[in-house]
Amino acid sequence: MIDIIKTRFIHWKKQRISLLFWLLFPMICTIFIIQLITAIQEDSQIPVGIVMEEDTVLANHLYAKIKNTPILRVVNVTETEAKQKVESHELDSAFVIQEDYEENIKKGKRNWLIKSYSSNLSFAFTPVKEMIISFVQEETGRSKTAHTVHDLSTDSEIKFSWEEVTKKAKNIQVEEDLLLTTFSFANTPNASKDPNITPVNTWGIWAVLSLLSTFLIFDWVIKERKSVLLLRYPFIRFSIKSFLLRNLLLYTMLLFFVDIITVILFHYVLNESLTLAGIGLLFMYRFMINLGAFLSGLMFHRLMSYYGFSFIITMFISILSGATVPIDGLTNRFPWIVIYNPLYSFLEQEWFNPWLLLLLLVVILWRIKGVKYNA
């Protein structure tokens, strides 16, 4: 084995820049992508049109509240513009603060204070609407309170004005902002007020990128089976199969070493958890994609076809695994997709990994039989 390592080192020395690039590529690229997506997500805004039909304190107050919501980009429009822009999908949706808004609230009415325009391309309509409703509801609720207090005081001499009651209610709400929601995922230790739930999954992106880089690193399987060099293998100490398998082991060690560095780096840079079980699953994943790349390499003789295959397989797995785009919608409908997902065990922390077993079985069969590859 020492001798195999020494021969491998001669190869690695020759391709150190290329090798280093592909070894570090998944790690660095993942960090870059995560930072990019986070930046975009933080700045992402839903364009919403607001039509002001009256210029009163309450209407302006509502407008300011909507405008101060970070996820919304408010565009001032007239009602006609609103309709037209929603139709051409320049705005996600539009809301009209209707005439007599303040007056109606003060009267204790709340039906149809706001008019909304949306189309079936208005993806964000429901959450935006719910939000605006809750803003309006705060005002109408206070007004309702004022009316309730007014009703209570009918028999009493003390009277409280509408303004007095709503001001008190507002103060109480500000002073005693008591209800907090916290969010956490099951099986994760700490809940937080503002958890970082992003639809992107760090390890998912890494898994896909490292799948690609592993396949590309494993082009040695093809290069070292070039027909000319095949003639040398009968006259060395190792059979070609054991030579290739030993190198597979060596590459697995190298790549797993880089994986460990990745885990540590992600822990400190991206706050990913660092557990022994995680590392165990990572090793299983590493071993699985190495076996996959190894076997794929054995199927090809032309480098270009192999590279093309690598990109295509990466693309399909990245789509179907849910590593890049969330596929909840798809797996809810077709649960069997999960079975065909080679990344499932790694991403969902399952110890049972049918793909690993299958690939291992194929490699063992190849070692025992598979005369086809034996020159």
Partner 1 sequence: MKTIKHILLFIKNIVVQVKRKWISLPLLFVFPIIAVGLVITIIASFFYPDEQQPIQIGIVDLDESDETQLVTDLIEESSQLGSYIQVHKMKEKEAQESIGNNEISAYIIFPNKFTKSLYQGHPVELPIVGNPKKQMDSLLIREIIESVSRHIRASQANILTINYFAKELGMNDEQRNELVFEQFKEFVFYTLGSNQIVNERDITNQATTSPFHYFGMGFWFICLSIWLFIIYNYLYTDSHLRMKQRVRLYGVTELQQIIARIIVSMISSLLFCGILFFSIDKLLDFELSVPDYSKGIMLTVLYSITLLGILAIIEVVIVSNKLRLLAQSIVLLMSLVVSGAIIPVIYYPQWLQGLVTYSFTYETFYWLIEMLLNNRIFIDFLPISIMASIAISTLVGISLWKERVID
Partner 2 sequence: MLEVHSLSKSYGNKTIIQDISFTVQPTEIVGLVGENGAGKSTLLSILATLLKPTKGTIALENLNYLSHRKLLREKIGFVPQDIAIWDNFTVEENMIFFEKLSWKNKNNKELRQLCLSMNLDKWKEPVKNLSGGMKRKLNLAISLIHDPELLLLDEPTAGIDLKSRKEIGSYLKSLATEHEKMIIYTSHDMDEITSICDRVLCIGQDAFYQNLLESSGKPLLAF
- Interface residues with partner 2 (CB under 8 A) are 3-4, 6-7, 10, 14, 228-229, 231-232, 234-238, 243
329 binds partner 1 (CB under 8 A): yes
Strand pairing class (46-52; 72-76): parallel
CB 373 → partner 1: shortest distance, Å?
Answer: 23
With CB under 8 A as the contact rule, the residue among 88, 239, 275, 374 that binds partner 1 is 88
Using the rule CB under 8 A, is 372 a contact of partner 1?
no
Strand partners, 52: 97
Amino acid at 141: G
Site for partner 1 in 35-54 (CB under 8 A): 40, 42-47
Of positions 2, 10, 57, 179, contacts partner 1 by CB under 8 A: 179
Q: Which of 346, 339, 307 is closest to 323 using CA atoms?
A: 346
Q: Tell the smallest beta-carbon distance from residue 364 to partner 2 (Å).
A: 22
> Which of 152, 92, 99, 82 is CA-nearest to residue 121?
92
Tokens of 175: 């002073």
Q: From the list 112, 235, 336, 351, which residue makes contact with partner 1 (rule: CB under 8 A)?
A: 112
Minimum CB distance to partner 1, residue 142 (Å): 6
Residue 127 binds which of partner 2, partner 1, none (CB < 5-8 A, kind-dependent): partner 1
From residue 127, give the alpha-carbon distance in Å to each of 41, 110, 115, 123, 286. 17, 20, 16, 9, 41
**243 vs 309 by CB, closer to partner 2:** 243
Residues that contact partner 1, how many (by CB under 8 A) = 102
Among 64, 274, 303, 364, binds partner 1 (CB under 8 A): 303
Q: Return d(Cα 328, Cα 332) in angstroms, integer.
A: 6
Contact region with partner 1 (CB under 8 A), list: 52-60, 274-282, 311-319, 365-373: 311-319
Decide if residue 280 touches partner 1 (CB under 8 A): no
- 1 near partner 1, rule: CB under 8 A: no
User: Rounded CA gap, 345 and 368, in Å?
Assistant: 28
Helix (H) or strand (E) holding 344: helix 344-347
- What is the CB neighbour count within 10 angstroms for residue 78? 13
Output DSSP code: residue 59: H
